[in-house]
Copies of this chain bind each other. A is one copy, B any other.
Amino acid sequence: MTSHHSSPVNSGTNLDPWFGHYAARAAGLSASEVRALFAVASRPEVVSLAGGMPFVSALPSELIRQSFERVMTESGPQALQYGSGQGTPELREQILEIMALEGIRGSVDDVVVTTGSQQGLDLVTKLFINPGDVVLAEAPSYVGAIGVFRSYQAEISQITMDEFGLIPAALCERITALKSVGKTIKFLYTIPNFHNPAGVTLTWERRLEILEICRSESILVLEDNPYGLLYFDGPPPQAMRSVETEGVVYLGSFSKTLAPGFRIGWALAPHAIREKLILANESAILSPSSFSQFVVSEYLRSSDWKAQINTFRGVYRERRDAMLAALDENLPDLRWTVPSGGFYVWVTLPEQIDSKSMLPRAVKELVAYTPGTAFFAHGEGRQSMRLSFCYPTTDAIRLGIRRLSSVINGERELLNTFALTGSFASIRGNDKVTTPPPNVN
């Protein structure tokens, strides 16, 4: 599909005159199969439990206005100008204060401001991955990370989790197996807190075990922590970066604790890697937006941002509680994870119900979710779904779960009917065994 030696002549089979010209890595860029459906799901009458959009309306717009006004008064020309590829020194200092809440001590020199932490993921992957190199990740893992790894032709190897997060023994086994066939493992990508999509949190003991394994195997750890401050029942264990400086690149973000529209995230990296990240950042975008950085900086300087995060915690805690209660009430025989923070619940469906093929029917019944397949690189996850409680109101969540329950029960009836005739498997077109998802219920 991406041979780069053929000439770009239209054949009858492809209308793109540049068909033969793309780089090999372009084959890794593919649209989500459920993208078209999500366009439908964004209609107002649909309750979407699919997206990961934070509830920015809980942020008083007055705080942003005041910050902006002060920025334009005090430093308009700088805010409108190009900046440093590393980000402004003031914002990097403030980022250190935020990370200190999770036990991290670092130098302002080792922070690189990025265009959302997504760009941090992209830059680290660009720096480390040759085609065919292995990235280890949790099973399931963040869909946007899988996309980035693919776009640099990484081989993605996903490792089993349970309710305490990634399983160290499974990590060891996988490393041994990959090394025995000559694979080069570059890094472990992990979301230790309030995992997206699994909703679980890696225990402190496991953090230490995993760091030790990666240290002894010379595998870099990419610790992605967008949700860590959004805890509902007390803070999660401290960041892995808090006890390991040289072996961890830490990614943080303002997208969930402030607002994603600014597109401001950051990486905290060991000295040498940080130097290369800055160069990669400059190559990609010259410099992160001064405009966004100045406004975020002023907001952090002049607002009680910790109180604001506490407000967010309250909003999301209430929504999580509503979702868990609604699941208990409407779908008591299903299994799901119980997140102690973040945005997501991971639900395991009855055997043979396929979350992906059920989605059109769900959208028809005015409820949307993300099928588990989105979070696996190789097609697993059909028996699971991610439900987000971050954006809809508690009433909408209750309504959405009721609708979902009716869709799932409809599927079960269909399943039972066809089970009697023995023709279910051929109709579903899905006899794949799904990777066991993490389960707490």
Interface residues of A in 33-90 (CB under 8 A from B): 53-54, 56-57, 59, 61, 64-65, 68-69, 72, 76-83
Within 8 Å of chain B (Cβ to Cβ): is A289?
yes
Is residue A98 contacting chain B, with contact meaning CB distance below 8 A?
no
Contacts A115-B115, A118-B284, A148-B283; A57 near B72 (Cβ below 8 A): no
* A223 vs chain B, min Cβ distance (A): 15
Is A30 among interface residues, defined by CB-CB distance under 8 A?
A: yes
Give which listed residue, B82, B130, B247, B272, contacts A261 with CB less than 8 A.
Answer: B82
Residue A129 interfacial (CB < 8 Å): yes
Q: Which of A7, A15, A151 has the most CB of B within 10 A?
A: A151
| B17 and A80 within 8 A (CB) | no
Given known contacts A81-B261, A291-B262, A65 and B72 CB-to-CB distance under 8 angstroms: yes
Could you say which of A19-27, A310-318, A327-335, A371-379 contacts chain B? A19-27
For A127, give its contact among B17, B26, B261 (CB under 8 Å).
B26
Decide if A167 is an interface residue (CB 8 Å cutoff). Answer: no
In the complex, what residues of B have CB within 8 A of residue A29's CB?
127, 276, 279-280, 283
A126–B122 Cα gap in the complex (Å)?
A: 12
The interface centre, meaning the residue of A8, A56, A78, A285 with most chain B CB atoms within 10 A of its CB, is: A285
Q: Is the CB of A4 within 8 A of B53?
A: no
User: In the bound complex, do residue A80 and residue B64 qualify as a contact, i.e. CB atoms below 8 Å apart?
Assistant: yes
Contact between chains at B53 and A116 (CB < 8 Å): no
Give the number of chain A interface residues (Cβ < 8 Å).
87
1/0 per position for A180-191, CB-CB distance to B under 8 A? 000010100000
Alpha-carbon gap, A294 to B184, bound state (A): 44
Can you offer 30 A-B residue contacts whose CB atoms are under 8 A? A4-B184, A5-B184, A7-B218, A16-B272, A17-B246, A17-B270, A19-B272, A21-B220, A23-B130, A23-B152, A29-B276, A56-B80, A56-B81, A57-B77, A61-B72, A61-B76, A61-B80, A64-B76, A65-B69, A78-B261, A116-B286, A118-B284, A118-B286, A119-B284, A260-B290, A261-B290, A262-B289, A263-B286, A263-B288, A289-B292
Knowing that A23-B127, A26-B126, A261-B289 touch, tell me 16 more A-B residue pairs with CB under 8 angstroms: A16-B271, A18-B270, A19-B272, A22-B127, A26-B128, A26-B280, A29-B276, A80-B260, A115-B263, A115-B284, A115-B289, A122-B285, A126-B151, A260-B286, A261-B290, A263-B289
- Please provide the 8 A-B residue pairs with the shortest distance between their CB atoms, ordered closest to farther: A16-B272, A80-B259, A261-B290, A80-B261, A261-B291, A29-B279, A263-B289, A56-B80
Binding site for B on A (CB under 8 A): 4-5, 7-9, 15-19, 21-26, 29-31, 53-54, 56-57, 59, 61, 64-65, 68-69, 72, 76-83, 115-116, 118-119, 122, 126-130, 133, 144, 147-148, 151-152, 184, 186, 218, 220, 246-247, 255, 259-263, 270-273, 275-276, 279-280, 282-292, 294-295
